[in-house]
């Protein structure tokens, strides 16, 4: 199906894009188009104006900023997956990006687009949650930073205001992380039925800090706080990992859909938290 008619803007500076977004009624940012275009074709989204940010120079780099790395709005998912800085300092994100969809989608879709889209089963949101990332949102009103923990509000709903562009993601260095998932078709390379991203700091020996995030399990990607608390202060023993896994779905409503019942998904969530922790701490 063709999308309804819309105005198409292709600004060449960020200021131009921000002005267009603040002045337009019912406008949408287009980065890679891998989620927006299908939704428009299905007429589930009907923007009056589409603002394509792909021709704005300077948004497509991954930078080392000393204490953190920064991923720009037009960095493609395949570049996130293969980038040496991301692989070293944000392994869970490299793994989540590398297991997203197929190569064509990874080459076209962007990491920031996936985060902004906030699909309940998307891969990369879980990784940025576990990594304690910060989202940088810009509008004509100024710039604000949003912690990943506050960014994912509900299904397809982020903390971005309609006039804001997610211009970059900041990921702090330090610690170690992994991403483990069961894709809908049995492996990686598809939306997860359930997946876990885990980050730990073991610089002092025992686990001094941990974050565990899940996706595909509930109405949004979320941090499993009780699960993470179960391994903090431990050396990552089998008992601590089992305790963490048992809290994987505490406080959330587990989804039931064509891919699995509540019980199956809860079990998967526990299994993937356990596997992620075992692989990370092995």
Ligand X SMILES: Cc1cc2nc3c(=O)[nH]c(=O)nc-3n(C[C@H](O)[C@H](O)[C@H](O)COP(=O)(O)OP(=O)(O)OC[C@H]3O[C@@H](n4cnc5c(N)ncnc54)[C@H](O)[C@@H]3O)c2cc1C
Is residue 138 a contact residue for ligand X (CB under 6 A)?
Answer: no
User: How far apart, in whole angstroms, are the C-alpha atoms of residue 5 and residue 33?
Assistant: 16
Q: What are phi and psi of 206, to 5 degrees?
A: -70, 175
User: How far apart, in whole angstroms, are the C-alpha atoms of residue 273 and residue 267?
Assistant: 10
- Please list every residue from 117 through 136 that binds ligand X, using CB under 6 A: 117, 119, 122-123
- Please list every residue from 166 through 185 that binds ligand X, using CB under 6 A: 166
Neighbours of 64 (CB within 10 A): 13
Q: What are phi and psi of 234, to 5 degrees?
A: -110, 170
> CB–CB of 67/173 below 8 Å?
yes
Q: Which is nearer to ligand X, 28 or 266 (CB)?
A: 28
Neighbours of 23 (CB within 10 A): 11
Q: Which is nearer to ligand X, 38 or 57 (CB)?
A: 38
Q: Interacting stretch for ligand X, rule CB under 6 A, among 29-37, 84-92, 140-148, 232-240?
A: 29-37
- Smallest separation, CB 247 to ligand X (Å): 24
DSSP single-letter state for residue 76: B
Binding mask 72-111 for ligand X (x = CB under 6 A): -x---x----------------------xx---x---xx-
Q: How many CA atoms lie within 13 A of 78 on its CB side?
A: 10
Binding mask 139-158 for ligand X (x = CB under 6 A): --------------------
Binding site for ligand X (CB under 6 A): 28-36, 38, 73, 77, 100-101, 105, 109-110, 112-114, 116-117, 119, 122-123, 160, 165-166, 190-191
């Amino acid at each position: 199906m063709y999308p309804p008619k819309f105005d198409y803007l292709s600004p060449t500076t960020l200021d131009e894009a921000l002005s267009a977004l603040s002045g337009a009624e019912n406008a949408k940012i287009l980065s890679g188009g891998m989620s927006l275009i299908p939704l428009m074709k299905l007429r589930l989204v009907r923007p009056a104006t589409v603002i394509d940010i792909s021709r704005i120079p300077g948004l497509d780099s991954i930078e080392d900023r000393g204490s953190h790395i920064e991923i720009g709005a037009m960095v493609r998912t395949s570049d996130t997956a293969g980038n040496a800085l991301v692989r070293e300092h944000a392994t869970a994100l490299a793994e989540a990006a590398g297991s997203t969809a197929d190569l064509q989608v990874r080459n076209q879709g962007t990491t920031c687009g996936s985060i902004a889209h906030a699909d309940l089963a998307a891969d990369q949101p879980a990784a940025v949650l576990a990594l304690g990332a910060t989202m940088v949102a810009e509008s004509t009103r100024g710039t604000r930073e949003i912690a990943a923990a506050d960014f994912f509000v509900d299904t397809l709903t982020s903390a971005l205001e309609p006039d804001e562009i997610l211009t970059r993601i900041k990921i702090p260095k330090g610690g170690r992380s992994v991403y483990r998932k069961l894709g809908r078709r049995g492996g990686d390379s598809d939306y997860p039925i359930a997946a876990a991203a885990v980050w730990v700091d073991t610089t002092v020996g025992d686990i001094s800090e941990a974050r565990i995030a899940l996706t595909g399990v509930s109405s949004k990607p979320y941090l499993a706080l009780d699960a993470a608390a179960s391994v903090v202060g431990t050396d990552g023993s089998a008992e601590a990992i089992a305790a963490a896994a048992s809290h994987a779905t505490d406080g959330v409503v587990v989804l039931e859909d064509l891919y699995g019942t509540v019980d199956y998904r809860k079990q998967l969530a526990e299994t993937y938290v356990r596997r992620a922790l075992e692989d990370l701490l092995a």
